[in-house]
Amino acid sequence: MSFVSPAGLTSPRSKTSNNGPELSRIVAGMWRIGDWNMSVQQRITFIEQCIALGVTTFDHADIYGGYQAEALFGEALAAQPGLRQKMQLVSKCGIKLLSPQRPEHTIKHYDTSAAHIIASAENSLRELQTEQLDLLLIHRPDPLMNFDEIAGAFTQLRDAGKVLHFGVSNFSRHQFESLNRRFPLATNQVEFSPLYVAPMFDETFDGLQDLGVAPMIWSPLAGGNLFKAGDAKVDKLRAVIQEIADRGQHTFASVVFAWIMQLPSRPLPLTGTSRIEAVADAVAATQFTLSRDDWFAILCAASGHEVA
């Protein structure tokens, strides 16, 4: 993995909320680390290359890689002890998968009980081989979730020094605000891309901006679908983005990340790649902003019509 970081290219840092954690504006997502087939040394190298780009925040979940992704990352941290102090670790809990790693699970379901939240956080600490998480998120809203019980679990983990900050993922505005009234939340990690703009119009982003809370963004490149030909609407959107990229001498991905980060709610997008060059493209997006004309050109191409 020979990669030379462009001179001066580094991700800025951003507090997610007034009392929230300071994270790198670009976050390295570890969802697919189990598919990367990296040796421990290759994982260490990738982590070090991310940190050299200022990408110091790494996003995990207990279920990633069939409950095995955190352990792969933890092996790298154990093999290179100085790395942990240079980064922020994010993880999630609340989903129970059917998995050979969890033979006691009989159906995929959600569990936001205090007992599960605490047990899951403690297991993430063991797998990541660290004493503390910087940020723990409830992975998805649970029809059986009790806001007071979740707040109690968060309080217990915070008071024990096991987790510094807490948030949620995939929550609606009302769900976020209901839990936030009981315990201060640092973020809501949601799906958003030019191919999925719902949070911009269903009050998710408006509500977070009103509270001064920055969202984290998963699947900013629509799971790679932005790059796939064959759909006329996506083809047109891709052409609009590529023209803006060519005119500004940016990469296609950089323009997409810049488009997302221009929102006033201050989103922190996740990468999902093992390619450090692709991480660098995301970081490069922090160095420029789009004109309003170009920003709306992407929105209109994404929606298939001009604004009202």
- The C-alpha atoms of residue 165 and residue 137 are separated, in whole angstroms, by 9
Retrieve residue 266's tokens: 């201050």
Q: Report, in angstroms and rounded to the nearest whole number, the Rg of the chain calculated over CA atoms.
A: 19
Task: Determine whether 64 is an active site residue.
Answer: yes
Phi-psi region of 273 (alpha: psi -120 to 50; beta: other; left: phi over 0): beta
Which residues 6+ apart lie within 8 Å of 20 measured at CB?
165, 167, 186, 187, 213, 214
Q: By the 8 A CB rule, do 5 and 49 touch?
A: yes
Could you identify the residue written with the tokens 């023209």? 243
Which one from 64, 67, 110, 196 is the annotated catalytic residue? 64
Q: Give every CB contact of residue 138 below 8 A, 6+ residues apart in sequence.
A: 92, 93, 94, 112, 117, 145, 150, 167, 168, 169, 171
> Which residues pair with residue 191 across a beta bridge?
218
Q: Kindly state the helix (H) or strand (E) to which residue 172 belongs, with its residue range.
A: none
Return the number of other C-beta atoms located less than 10 Å from residue 190's C-beta.
Answer: 24
Which residues are known to be catalytic?
Answer: 64
